[in-house]
Structure 1
Amino acid sequence: MTIGRRTAQILLDTGCILLRPDRPFVLTSGWMSPVWLDIPRALSFPLARAALLEAAERRILDVAGHAGFDAIAATEQGGIALGAMLAERFRLPFTTVRRRAQGFGADAHVEGALRPGARALLVSDVTTDGRSKARYARSLRQAGAEVGHVFVLFSYGIFDRVVTEVSDIGATLFALATWDDVLPEAEARAALPEESLAALRAWLADPFAWSAARGGLAAPDPNWKA
């Protein structure tokens, strides 16, 4: 079984996938969604947490390499717990990147000691359309760090028209799992109601139209910049 499918199992087993098509969620990015991912919930279960951290370590080393980074930088809120635990596993310095500046100067968005020229692995729990990850990466670079990789436990993987890795984030974004892993696992195990799964399939097929029909964002902004 792939890492993606094992991650999907964990998310389903720990009740992290909340489907509510009749009362859509408003994602931080502004899109309407029939589903919400409560990743911190998975980290509260010791066995699930251990499995996710082991898989994350393996995936990070496979993609970034053993010499590809020398610091861990976590996004505020969702990324802090995950980033701190990964920094401990890798025995690396740890910093937090905030959405809004908390001080003055180039490192106003960064909390903690970040060595100039550090090769920071940016860590977060989830990404939807990638815009916030592009901003966090920009803040780290302004503080003097290099950012070549961004790791998340889960990527929605359906908003590729909004942000592209190289042009907007300037880094390789990778994850343990996407909806392409969750949907077949949920279907195989009959883990979610079929009516809710049908709504999830419809949203995945055209998230922009689904969102617009329910009062959310309708399409990517072609003028968006990090």
Structure 2
Amino acid sequence: MKTFSESRLVAKMLLEINAINFNVENPFSLSSGFLSPSYIDCRKIISYPKVRTKITELMIEKIDREIGSEVIKHIIGGETAGIPFASLVAEKLQLPLSYVRKTTKKHGKNKLIEGEIFSQKECLLIEDLMTDGKSKIDFLNKIRDHNIICNYGMVVFNYDIFPGTEKRLKENKIEIHYLACWEDVYNEILEDSAFDTITTKQIKSFIDDPIKWSNERRYEY
């Protein structure tokens, strides 16, 4: 669900703004619980106007091409990293915007969804990235519990390496569209010879079997 040129461009931009950090010696802990030699911080995108604008344009092009902008009636951002991207897309498409919380507020109206709730309208869930899809399903269930139709999601970056992710998404009847994945980043790294051989090999090892890579380091560290 991506084209070569746009996906490599996104990977290149992420590397250029140092949104992808590497540390083989002291692995990062992902929200999914796995250890990784890299941390991808898509939040940095919003601090770079040209990159931010291009990412927004690519998201909208992808919506038009793969979903159909006429299908989407409502944009919902995932708390918190998905909110700025959802805001940018909603503004460009002139669509209603809301956001879904991870947990209810402890004060006020105890809402899970902030903004207007458009029942029986097709929404697009927007987040910054996806590892194994579990947090997307959690957001999806919260949205559907409010009688909102949600069959589509979009992220800037999809790890696209964890087993069971596609099955999980299919079982929950949601399509996740994305701009770039680890394959794109790895190919960009190889082309630019951006890192030393040891780091590059560790990244390839992680991509080939992230669970094995994580388990080995979890034992070690």
Q: Same-fold call, TM > 0.5?
A: yes
Deviation at 1:102, TM superposition (A): 2.5
Listed one character per residue, the Cα deviations across residues 46-75 of structure 1 (whole Å, up to 9, x for unaligned) are 111111111111012111102221000000
**Which residue pairs with 1:167 in the alignment?**
171
SS in 2 for 1:213: helix
RMSD: 1.7
Count how many residue pairs are aligned between Structure 1 and Structure 2: 213
Listed one character per residue, the Cα deviations across residues 17-44 of structure 1 (whole Å, up to 9, x for unaligned) are 1010100000011011110001111221
Instruction: Tell me whether 1:22 sits opposite 2:28 in the alignment.
Output: no
Larger helix fraction of residues: 2
Listed one character per residue, the Cα deviations across residues 183-209 of structure 1 (whole Å, up to 9, x for unaligned) are 111110122333211111011111111
**Which residue pairs with 2:65 in the alignment?**
62
Deviation at 1:96, TM superposition (A): 0.6
Hey, what's the Cα distance between the residues in 2 that align with 1:212 and 1:135?
25
Q: Is the 8 A contact 1:103 1:109 kept in 2?
A: no
- Structure 1: where are the runs of 5+ without partners? 217-226
Instruction: Tell me whether 1:191 sits opposite 2:191 in the alignment.
Output: no
SS in 2 for 1:72: strand
Q: Is the 8 A contact 1:83 1:94 kept in 2?
A: yes
Instruction: Tell me whether 1:83 sits opposite 2:91 in the alignment.
Output: no
Instruction: Tell me whether 1:180 sits opposite 2:187 in the alignment.
Output: no
Structure 1 counterpart of 2:78, one-letter code = T
- Structure 2: where are the runs of 5+ without partners? none
Hey, what's the Cα distance between the residues in 2 that align with 1:152 and 1:198?
27
**Which residue pairs with 2:218 in the alignment?**
215
Structure 2 counterpart of 1:179, one-letter code = W
**Which residue pairs with 1:92 in the alignment?**
95
Structure 2 counterpart of 1:194, one-letter code = T
Deviation at 1:3, TM superposition (A): 1.0
Give the TM-score, by structure 1 length.
Answer: 0.89
Structure 1 counterpart of 2:171, one-letter code = S
Deviation at 1:177, TM superposition (A): 0.3
Over 3 Å counting, the alpha-carbon distance change for 1:87 and 1:181 in structure 2 is: same
Deviation at 1:103, TM superposition (A): 6.9
- Identity over the aligned pairs, expressed in percent? 27
